[in-house]
Amino acid sequence: MATTVIQRKKVETATPVRRVVMGLVFLALSMLILVLFALKSDPALKTTFVMNPGGIDRGLAPDWVLPGFSTMIVLTVITFLAAVYQIFVGFKKATNVVLGIVVALFIFAFLAWAAEGRSLNLGGMLSGAVLLSVPITLGAFSGVLCERSGVVNIAIEGMMLMGSMVGALVGSVTNSLLIGLIAAILASVLMAALHAVLSIKYKINQIVSGTVINIFATGLTTYISQKILQVNQSLNNPPIFPRLPIPILADIPVIGPILFNQNMFVYAMFILLAVLQISIFKTRWGLRLRAVGEHPKAADTLGINVIRTRYMAVLLGGAVAGFGGAFFTLGSVGRFDKMMTAGKGFIGLAAMIFGNWTPIGSFGAGLLFGFADSIATKLAILGSYIPPQFMSMAPYITTMVVLAGIVGRGQMPAADGEPYVKE
Amino acid sequence: MKNETDKTKPAVSIEEISTNILASATKKKSFWSALVIPGLALLTGLILGALFIIVTSGEVYSAFQISFGSGLATSWEIVSKSYLALFQGAIGNPAAMVQALISGDQLEIRRAFNPFLESLVVSTPYIFAGLAVALGFRAGLFNIGVEGQLFIGAAASTFVGYSIKGLPAIIHMPLALLAGALGGAFWGFIPGWLKAKTGGHEVINTIMMNWIAFRFTEWLLTGPMTRPDSGRMPVSPIIEKSAEIPQFFKQPIRFHLGFFIALGAAGLVYWLLFKTTWGFNLRTVGANPRAAKYAGMNIAKNTILAMSLSGALAGLAGANQILAINRSMAIGLSAGYGYDSIALALIGNSHPVGVVLAAILFGTLRNGATRMMVTTRIPIDIISILQALILMFVAAPAIIRSIYRLKPPKAEDEKAAFVGSWGGK
């Protein structure tokens, strides 16, 4: 472990180019706020942000009324200062966080400009963003678990797809939310087990193994959907987890309705975040997991069972992905449609990378990407000339920038993707 | 993977440095041993597919309620009916073929052989896409972005196809194809450049580029490239007649020149990889970047070039579909060619000949499944399941060997390390 820590520091400090590149990205975003929004806005107009999600009389908060032009000037200055600091000094380890904040400010500036002279339900948008971030974040958690142990998981999408289909089918047959959820998790664990056997036992390339699962899950779920679910609608009509406001907390103004008036999946995401963050970084189990992912040979020498640790991590990752998959059918729509996950598993992968292979980072990235999604669905209503498709691209582009700017080769688990052969 | 020799190449220093690598690579796999595993993988896939069809058929359950025997009989009936439809849809009906040949009627002959020709039509994009992935593998790069490159290539060739008017076909069609190749090459260049200059892993970047391409083409088709009279449907205008890849026969036979262009591309890739210094450099970079670096090869340049070329081939897959078949672009353009092509490259051992054979196999299966869907109501997605199984068995030959009790091979043959690890080492 010690050697890898030293290596990492070297990588981080040895790349001033990346620091400057990231600074330039900040600068570009800052200038975009100025040119695209601030200079095109009318100083006389004000933007009203409604902070209460529609139709819910909990935690009433007053509307925010902001003067559009000066708000954007302030945002330009803040992001400009961040850019200057990044170019000349550097945020070092916090760079990803700052990038997240800068992107969020950019989005905020965009909203303030797009809704100028009108009112926009920001509370509803944020509440929707939290909900949309659930599958992304859970997918990212699944990735973190697998990759911390050194097994690359690009099959998150396939596992989630499997979970959502089986959840809908079993949930409809048994008419039970709990059984449906458990079945979804088990189906995904089964896929994860296949991934584990192929990549750990047979040592085939983990990206190939992930591709096998993605193709297989796509084929299987579409097949079942066409052959069984569409023919027999009663088999595709599972119950849905209801909205579950938490007493007291849900009545806090602004945050209450956004965070504490959601369904079970949102709370489970918060609990999982805490559990994973602590167990990966503060417990002996987590230390072993990371050791296996960083330097399996050293871990083996110290008596850690590398193979067993990896199996466990991949299966747990599968369970989390299946839980995330169940969100699509049991947590929001109440029906399975083919290709339902629509790339959320891959955005989850992106969130994991943006979040630097940590649960807390993945969560932040998941929220940001969920926010981008939430806006993309509302752009048409806002009547802006920016096509919604460009908003949906934001997570992918951000990930590529992060990968080029900071992460590069240094930050991922050192033995990620390498099968372990005991000597 | 590394089963080819390069005795003719004058790069002595490299051979000195990477002696062990080339030594293990000099052993040529015999033609038959290269076929055994894919053949058994196909067989096993078909058997598992049959089981799957049985398990998901309602008739079987009701038959088993009557008696065990009738359950078995029904299962057999369903499977044999399905696979017969698959075969006839893919190759044709042998009896009808013979009869048509005897009668000598041109129309009858064409009609009888149409399923086979149609299989080649379906195979064509697979050939291009499989070559794209195989070229990447040879350079040690994992191009998962074929799907996105295909979309961009298709969009570029569609645009050239409908916007330029009045050109003769001999110029317009190649120009539209070239636009497709360039579009795909550009989409492959970006992750290649990022890998070379920043070390950002191409797997992640190409996955991201796929989704950017989907959104981008969605925007193109609803915005700048939308058909004026489409009534808000996301489709492009129809391409000019002069941009079409010509078909050899009258409708409904769709067999077209694109198939031979694909074979030409396979030949070109073979020549590039195995007969030029550039190809030798590329393969050395793929097999052992460190040795390549010591020998003075430019890894960055090779990476960028390989990804761009790979993207160009993927773009051609999209252009081919537009110019020969679809004639206009819609959102549901690809049937997952990008992901299937990874399977193709692996089954074909990343060799152009192998890729062409594997592509024809996949095309044949998919074409046959269309007929199977019509006659037996089995969703075409059974083919995706089959493809996943075949890919799994080819990638992990140990499973096949343990099923069929084959002898394990000597250590060198077993090496499937066609691509570096995730960390880009």
Q: What is the average pLDDT across A358-368?
A: 89
Residue A292: CB atoms within 10 A of its CB come to 28
What pLDDT, on the 0 to 100 scale, is given for residue B233? Answer: 80
* CB–CB contact A220 B381 (8 Å): yes
What percent of chain A has a predicted confidence (pLDDT) above 70?
Answer: 91
In 3D space, the residue among A312, A419, A381, A401 whose CA is nearest the CA of residue A128 turns out to be: A381
The residues that bridge with A107 in the sheet, in sequence order, are none
Which DSSP letter does residue A242 get? P
Q: Are A126 and A292 in contact (CB under 8 A)?
A: no
In 3D space, the residue among B357, B34, B344, B153 whose CA is nearest the CA of residue A211 turns out to be: B344
Distance from the B382 Cα atom to the nearest Cα atom in chain A, whole angstroms? 6
* CB–CB contact A417 B418 (8 Å): no
What pLDDT, on the 0 to 100 scale, is given for residue B32? Answer: 66
- Alpha-carbon distance of A326 to A239, in angstroms, equals 12
Start-to-end C-alpha separation, chain B = 19
Q: Are B208 and A350 in contact (CB under 8 A)?
A: yes
Q: Is the pLDDT of residue A229 over 80?
A: yes
A16–chain B Cβ distance below 8 A for any pair:
no
Q: Is the pLDDT of residue B8 over 70?
A: no
Look at A224 and A86; give whichever has higher pLDDT. A224
Distance from the A270 Cα atom to the nearest Cα atom in chain B, whole angstroms? 27
B387–chain A Cβ distance below 8 A for any pair:
yes
Q: Is the pLDDT of residue A153 over 80?
A: yes
In 3D space, the residue among A188, A272, A231, A27 whose CA is nearest the CA of residue B59 turns out to be: A231
pLDDT tens, residue by residue, A62-115: 777 777 778 888 888 888 888 888 888 877 777 778 888 888 888 888 888 877
**What is the average pLDDT value for chain A, to the nearest integer?**
82
Interface of A with B in 312-351 (CB under 8 A): 343, 346-347, 349-350
* CB–CB contact A204 B416 (8 Å): yes
What percent of chain A has a predicted confidence (pLDDT) above 90?
Answer: 27
Q: Between helices B202-222 and B146-163, what is the axis angle to 10°?
A: 30
pLDDT class of B27 with cuts at 50, 70, 90: very low
- Alpha-carbon distance of B180 to B410, in angstroms, equals 43
Measure CB to CB from residue A228 to each of B56, B207, B399 and give the nearest one. B56
Q: Is the pLDDT of residue A5 over 60?
A: no
In chain B, where the domains are located:
32-90+356-406, 127-350
Q: Write out the residue range of the structural domain in which residue A362 sits.
A: 122-370
Q: What is the average pLDDT across A203-215?
A: 88
Q: Is the pLDDT of residue B5 over 90?
A: no
Q: What is the average pLDDT across B249-255?
A: 78
For an interface test with B, which of A400, A401, A411 has the most B Cβ atoms less than 10 Å from its Cβ? A400
Q: Does the residue A346 lie in any domain?
A: yes
Strand arrangement, sheet containing A64-67: A64-67, A46-49, A119-120
pLDDT class of B424 with cuts at 50, 70, 90: very low
What pLDDT, on the 0 to 100 scale, is given for residue B1? Answer: 37
pLDDT class of B21 with cuts at 50, 70, 90: very low
**Residue A37 burial class via C-beta count within 10 angstroms: exposed 0-12, middle 13-18, buried 19 and up:** buried
Measure CB to CB from residue B379 to each of A209, A216, A222 and give the nearest one. A222
Give residue B373's identity as a one-letter amino acid code. Answer: M
Can you read off the two tokens belonging to residue B419? 């691509």
Q: What is the ipTM of this complex?
A: 0.81
* CB–CB contact A226 B381 (8 Å): yes
For chain A, what is the domain count? 1
- Locate the chain A residue with the closest alpha carbon to B340: A215
pLDDT tens, residue by residue, B30-87: 666 677 888 888 889 889 988 888 888 878 888 888 888 888 888 888 888 888 888 8
CATH number at residue A173: 1.10.3470
- Locate the chain A residue with the closest alpha carbon to B417: A205
Distance from the B421 Cα atom to the nearest Cα atom in chain A, whole angstroms? 6
Produce one character per residue of B355-383: b if its CB has 16 or more CB atoms within 10 Å, e if not.
Answer: bbbbbbbbbbbbbbbbbbbeebebbbbbb
Look at A111 and A59; give whichever has higher pLDDT. A111
Instruction: Find all residues with CB under 8 Å of B303, minimum gap 6, and list them.
Output: B139, B141, B192, B195, B196, B285
pLDDT tens, residue by residue, B108-162: 887 788 888 888 999 999 999 999 999 998 988 888 889 999 999 999 999 999 9
* CB–CB contact B381 A412 (8 Å): no
- Locate the chain B residue with the closest alpha carbon to A405: B198
pLDDT tens, residue by residue, B206-222: 988 998 999 899 889 88
**Which residues from A are below 8 Å from B54, CB to CB?**
none
Can you read off the two tokens belonging to residue A231? 């023919």
Can you read off the two tokens belonging to residue B287? 């097999």
* CB–CB contact A418 B421 (8 Å): yes
**Residue A57 burial class via C-beta count within 10 angstroms: exposed 0-12, middle 13-18, buried 19 and up:** exposed
Look at A118 and B325; give whichever has higher pLDDT. B325
For B250, left (φ over 0), alpha (ψ -120 to 50), or beta? beta
Distance from the A254 Cα atom to the nearest Cα atom in chain B, whole angstroms? 33
pLDDT class of A382 with cuts at 50, 70, 90: low
Can you read off the two tokens belonging to residue B262? 């694909």
* CB–CB contact A207 B381 (8 Å): no
**Residue A301 burial class via C-beta count within 10 angstroms: exposed 0-12, middle 13-18, buried 19 and up:** exposed
Interface of B with A in 105-144 (CB under 8 A): 142, 144
- Residue A66 is inside which H or E element, if any? strand A64-67
**Which residues from A are below 8 Å from B218, CB to CB?**
389
- Locate the chain B residue with the closest alpha carbon to A220: B385
Q: Is the pLDDT of residue A12 over 70?
A: no
A228–chain B Cβ distance below 8 A for any pair:
yes
In 3D space, the residue among B337, B404, B396, B391 whose CA is nearest the CA of residue B42 turns out to be: B391
A409–chain B Cβ distance below 8 A for any pair:
yes
- Locate the chain A residue with the closest alpha carbon to B384: A219
pLDDT class of A408 with cuts at 50, 70, 90: very low
**Which residues from B are below 8 Å from A397, CB to CB?**
208, 212
* CB–CB contact A400 B416 (8 Å): no
For an interface test with B, which of A198, A203, A204, A224 has the most B Cβ atoms less than 10 Å from its Cβ? A204
Interface of B with A in 142-161 (CB under 8 A): 142, 144
Q: Are B318 and B180 in contact (CB under 8 A)?
A: yes
- Alpha-carbon distance of A104 to A368, in angstroms, equals 7
**Which residues from B are below 8 Å from A412, CB to CB?**
422-423
Q: Count contacts between A and B (CB, < 8 Å).
A: 159
- Alpha-carbon distance of B109 to B225, in angstroms, equals 41
Q: Does the residue A341 lie in any domain?
A: yes
- Locate the chain A residue with the closest alpha carbon to B421: A417
Q: Are A244 and A264 in contact (CB under 8 A)?
A: yes
A3-12, A18-27, A349-358, A414-423: which has the minimum mean pLDDT? A3-12
C-alpha pair distances (Å), B204 with each of A19, A359, A402, B145 = 21, 19, 11, 9
* CB–CB contact A403 B204 (8 Å): yes
Measure CB to CB from residue A198 to each of B201, B215, B396 and give the nearest one. B396
A138-142, B55-59, B389-393: which has the minimum mean pLDDT? B55-59
What pLDDT, on the 0 to 100 scale, is given for residue B343? Answer: 83
- Alpha-carbon distance of A192 to A154, in angstroms, equals 11
A142-146, A367-371, B162-166, B416-420: which has the minimum mean pLDDT? B416-420
Q: Does the residue A92 lie in any domain?
A: no
A209–chain B Cβ distance below 8 A for any pair:
yes
B384–chain A Cβ distance below 8 A for any pair:
yes
Measure CB to CB from residue B391 to each of A215, A224, A403 and give the nearest one. A215
- Alpha-carbon distance of B109 to B125, in angstroms, equals 26
* CB–CB contact B205 A204 (8 Å): no
Largest Cα span, chain A: 73
Which DSSP letter does residue A263 get? B
* CB–CB contact A346 B211 (8 Å): yes
> Do strands A64-67 and A119-120 pair parallel, antiparallel, or not at all (unpaired)?
unpaired
- Alpha-carbon distance of A225 to A187, in angstroms, equals 16
Measure CB to CB from residue A227 to each of B223, B339, B379 and give the nearest one. B379
